[in-house]
Structure 1
Amino acid sequence: MSDPRGAAHLARPRSDAVRQPAQWPLRAVRPLGRWLIRRRYDVRLHHLERFPATGPVVVTANHIGIIDGPLMALFAPRPVHALTKIEMFKGPLGLLLRLGGQVPVDRFNADPLAVRTALRVLREGHSVGVFPEGTRGPGDLATFRTGAAYLALVTGAPVLPLTFIGTREPGGSSGSLPPRGARFDIVVGEPVPVDAVPWPRTRDHVRLTSAALRDHMRSQLADALDETGRSLPGPLPVGDTE
């Protein structure tokens, strides 16, 4: 009997030659990680039922604070392999990120290895996390890169919006953490189905799909702010570039 996942890895761009990031360390530490964070912060989760229980998912989120990535990995209903800036994969933190199955990505240059690794995760039926803004900031999705749309178009995975609220204080720097007891709201939005498009895919197709995803995410962000009665922290301090 043929293996449909094996065949999927042979489709362009191929993902058969890259390694599947580890899952078991992340699964093992998630309960402890959630407990530790909840000892310091009031984490509130909204609409977890919207997160698909099975199958590939491209999880997309706004990015306002340094703790957004760990919150995504720990509190999502399923383990998420987030595309994480390669600068963080140094020393003990880098080892921890690799053990946790996170995917290093070069944000300033083409990174075929990161793309193929993300495709392998999705083709194996798991979840990939993407911050389309590419960097921490006001979290309003004014900037929106096309990576999430591309991954969804290649694999046919639905795109699931997340909204992070409260993970950076107004006026706080890109590397700051809110004070103890602060409230974090993580709101799961309505997923968007995306049909897989066989190779070759045009830039216009990716661009138009990305524009539609951005509109949906901004609508979901507005709904999340309205539901929680909260607001985004505003821009980073002048001269602070993450």
Structure 2
Amino acid sequence: MAEVEFDRGWSDRGRRIGNRLVKTGYRAKALHPERVPVTGPVIIVSNHTGFLDGPVVFCLAPRTVHFLVKKSYFKSVWGKVLTGVGQIPIEQRTGDREALAAAKSLLAQGYAVGIFPEGTRGSGTVETAHQGAAWLALQTGAQIIPTATLGTRGTGSGRESWPKPGARLRVVFGEAFALPDYTGVPGRQKLALATEEIRERLARQVSAAVVETGLVLPSDAPPPPSN
């Protein structure tokens, strides 16, 4: 089984430092962090609209989260930071069994893993979901936390855009849940049912968070021209 090499102390310190930085640059806040179990294997699933989604959830979560992060980012100037805080490189186009094995190993050790089931940045409404989070949950029995990340991309802004300094960012954690046993259900059907269960729960959490915070999801359409 693949292993993720990281220094637990540096990983935790990195989260605390990041928490201060993100709150300096933005009006950033986590809502309902008490819903995240402080111990044991946890999978945090979040919607995905902007570049800052992963860093913001990592910095505001009440415990260190090891996200599955696009492999190309590890070749950028942020590569050493991502490695140091224990993030997991994943080749999205191939499914990357090695990355999933690494995430499974971390969950088996009682850590928290973060995944964006949508797979790529979009409107954040979670209309589709990939199977990685469901596979990990079925393999490990980890609890799942549906999490809405809001404010990381402005309405009408491009997918590569960052929110303006001082913008209001919210990470809204939902209630933890475990997947059903699916006793007697064949493997592929079980995975499909688990994936849809996670997708539906996450979509509901995003909708509830929009109502709770007053923040809206971005549109992929460009903003209307000014008069």
Normalising by structure 1, what TM-score? 0.86
Match of 1:59 in 2: 44
Q: Deviations over 1:78-98 (max 9, x none)?
A: 100000011111043111111
Q: Deviations over 1:54-102 (max 9, x none)?
A: 1000110000111111112111111000000111110431111111100
Say yes or no: does 1:20 pair with 2:4.
yes
> Which residue among 24, 30, 33 is the counterpart of 1:45?
30
For the residue of structure 1 that corresponds to 2:98, the secondary structure is: helix
Match of 1:211 in 2: 196
Match of 1:83 in 2: 68
> Which residue among 201, 211, 216 is the counterpart of 1:226?
211
Q: How many aligned residue pairs are there? A: 221
Match of 1:12 in 2: none
- One-letter code aligned to 2:40: G
Unaligned runs of 5+ in 2: none
CA shift, 1:110, in A, is 3.0
Change (3 A) 1:201 1:93: farther
**1:82-231 pair list within 5 angstroms:** 82-194=67-179, 202-231=187-216
For the residue of structure 2 that corresponds to 1:89, the secondary structure is: helix
What is the distance in 1 between the residues matched to 2:18 and 2:177? 29
For the residue of structure 2 that corresponds to 1:139, the secondary structure is: coil
What is the distance in 1 between the residues matched to 2:96 and 2:181? 21
**Contact 2:106–2:113 under 8 Å retained in 1:** yes
CA shift, 1:52, in A, is 0.8
Change (3 A) 1:236 1:75: farther
**Contact 2:157–2:219 under 8 Å retained in 1:** no
What is the CA RMSD across the aligned residues, in angstroms?
1.9
CA shift, 1:171, in A, is 1.5
Unaligned runs of 5+ in 1: 1-14
Provide the identity percentage. 37
